[in-house]
Amino acid sequence: MLAALRAVAEPTRLRLLVLFARAELTVSEVTQILGQSQPRVSRHLKLLCEAGLLDRLREGSSVFYRLARRGEGNALASLLAGLVPEDDPTVALDLERLQQIRSSRAVAAAAYFRANAEQWDRIRSLYIDEREVEAALLELLPPGEVSELLDIGTGTGRILEILAPRVEHAIGIDLSREMLAVARVNLERANLRNCVLRRGDMYQLALSGASVDAVVIHQVLHYAERPGDAIREAARVLRAGGRLVIVDFAPHALEFLRSEHAHIWLGFAEEEMLGWCRAAGLEPGRVQYLPGEPLTVAIWTARRRAPVRPALGAVESAERMGARAVQINPTGLV
Domain boundaries, the chain: 2-101, 126-304
Residues 132-180: tens digit of each pLDDT: 999 999 999 999 999 999 999 999 999 999 999 999 999 999 988 888 9
Does the global pTM surpass 0.85? no
pLDDT of residue 205: 96
Instruction: Give the CATH fold of the 126-304 domain.
Output: Rossmann fold (3.40.50)
- Segments in the chain below pLDDT 50: 312, 314-334
pLDDT of residue 113: 59
pLDDT of residue 238: 98
Q: What is the 3-state secondary structure (H, E, C) of the chain?
A: CHHHHHHHCCHHHHHHHHHHCCCCEEHHHHHHHHCCCHHHHHHHHHHHHHCCCEEEEEECCEEEEEECCCHHHHHHHHHHHHHCCCCCHHHHHHHHHHHHHHHHHHHHHHHHHHHHHHHHHHHHCCCCCHHHHHHHHHHHCCCCCCCEEEEECCCCCHHHHHHHHHCCEEEEEECCHHHHHHHHHHHHHCCCCCEEEEECECCECCCCCCCEEEEEEECCHHHCCCHHHHHHHHHHCEEEEEEEEEEEECCCCCCHHHHHHCCCCCCCCHHHHHHHHHHCCEEEEEEEEECCCCCCEEEEEEEECCCCCCCCCHHHHHHHHHHHHHHHCCCCCC
> Which CATH code fits 2-101?
1.10.10.10
